[in-house]
Amino acid sequence: MPLNPPPRLLMGAGPINADPRVLRMMSAPLIGQFDPAMTAAMTSTMALYRAVFRTANDATFVVDGTARAGIEAALVSLVTPGDRVLVPIFGRFGHLLSEIASRCGAEVHECEVQWGHVFDPEMIEDAIVAVRPKLLATVHGDTSTTMCQPLADIGDICRRHGVLLYADVTASLAGNAFEMDAWHVDAASAGLQKCLGGPSGSAPMSLSSQAVSVIAARRSIEAGLRDAPAVADAPDGGARIRSNYFDVAMLLDYWGDRRLNHHTEATSMLYAAHECARLITEEGVDHAIERHRLHGAAMLAGTQALGLAAFGDPDHKMHNIVGVEIPDGIDGEMVRAQLIEQFGIEIGTSFGPLHGRIWRIGTMGYNARTDAVLTTLAAFEQVLRRNGHRSSPGSGVDAALAVYS
């Protein structure tokens, strides 16, 4: 039987409803991976994401796979077994970075703050001085806690101490300020399914010249592709990147002028990645960030008017997702189920120590728009009322409209 997915308004932590223009682009005809039209599309995609990442990095491209593929490609290519990696953890996805770095053979050191808070720069610098890592790997915006970690001072600290800085910007890119070059970020990766407004399956990435130098020192070429003058293997066989698919040195040869065969590019996902970046740059990155700020503020005001307390440090909240505390006596999963069953709206559950304590409501990508916010608040109010939580009728929508006025 054919699949028949029901219509949904996806207002959780991601994925979100893909922009219809992105979906239309994905239906374009397939072409060969070395067709001049294909290589031109790849080159255009690289240029567009330089604008989105706010960088001049030549090494800006997409990894075929979900956002996690981008994280793993960056870490497995930058980290040699035995390297020290420092991971500041302020939510679930910091733990993910720690696990991936550990699987790469790193000597991982963690520092952690209570979920709902972020790190002061001094805490990071103290940890760097104590650990002396090769790489600091951090999440920028962690949807598990809805917090956004400031990076500008951390980038300066890393540069001062000779530490590479990797940032997971999966949930923050194009919805919150991110300045790759100005903040001295050496490597960053993202995904399409959040603020970029596309489906999961492609991971934009950018690397500084310093990061590329580290990766290039581990460069190797597959046996079936080598020619006489080519470097056959990394100078130190033990330093060879421990993944073929996620070998960024090989990916750079594939995306670069040599077009050295690696894998078959996921053509339809390349179209999607290109269209996501094209739409963001057409709107203007600053305008996209402001759009996410506005609709996030409206959702926050609406939920507070419904008598729901916001979770976490308000000064460091991401623009594109709101964490709200589940009132005493309310079954959070029952509310989520009724929103889906009765209104076709999905909001997010929570993880780890926050499981059963908060809902996460996203306003990102194509769903960072007025009608999506107002529809969600109206439905949310009705479901909350039926579950015993009282508020003034229409108060959530009224509060959001006041933000928009």
* Boundaries of domain holding 349: 285-404
- pLDDT computed for residue 233 by the predictor: 56
Are the C-beta atoms of residues 180 and 58 closer than 8 Å to each other? no
- pLDDT computed for residue 234 by the predictor: 53
Give 336-381 pLDDT, tens digit per residue. Answer: 999 999 999 999 999 899 999 999 999 999 999 999 999 999 999 9
- Are 274 and 313 members of one domain? no
CA 220 to chain CA centroid, Å, is 29
Are the C-beta atoms of residues 145 and 318 closer than 8 Å to each other? no
324: nearest Cα among 335, 199, 99, 29? 335
- Are 259 and 372 members of one domain? no
Of 281, 302, 324, which residue sits at a domain end? Answer: 281
- Are 70 and 100 members of one domain? yes
CATH number of the domain that residue 323 is part of:
3.90.1150.10
206: nearest Cα among 79, 57, 45, 39? 57
Assigned domain for 8 exists: no
CA dist., res. 11 & res. 366, Å (int): 10
Of 227, 256, 281, which residue sits at a domain end? Answer: 281
CATH number of the domain that residue 259 is part of:
3.40.640.10
Residue 1 has pLDDT above 70, yes or no: yes
Instruction: Output the pTM of the full model.
Output: 0.95
- How many domains, the chain? 2
Of 226, 252, 281, which residue sits at a domain end? Answer: 281
- Are 269 and 123 members of one domain? yes
pLDDT-wise least confident of 59-68, 223-232, 338-347: 223-232
- Are 253 and 338 members of one domain? no
Assigned domain for 373 exists: yes
Percent of the chain with pLDDT over 70: 97
- Are 238 and 296 members of one domain? no
Assigned domain for 261 exists: yes
- Are 316 and 272 members of one domain? no
Q: What are the C-alpha distances in Å from 308 to residues 321, 322, 376?
A: 15, 11, 14
Q: How confident is the model at residue 260 (pLDDT cuts 50, 70, 90)?
A: confident
336: nearest Cα among 390, 384, 286? 384
206: nearest Cα among 176, 233, 184, 222? 184
Assigned domain for 75 exists: yes
92: nearest Cα among 137, 143, 165, 127? 143
- Are 309 and 329 members of one domain? yes
Strand bridging mode 321-325 / 358-362: antiparallel
Q: How confident is the model at residue 235 (pLDDT cuts 50, 70, 90)?
A: low
CA dist., res. 381 & res. 395, Å (int): 9
Tell me which DSSP letter residue 115 carries.
Answer: B
Give 371-399 pLDDT, tens digit per residue. Answer: 999 999 999 999 999 999 999 999 999 99
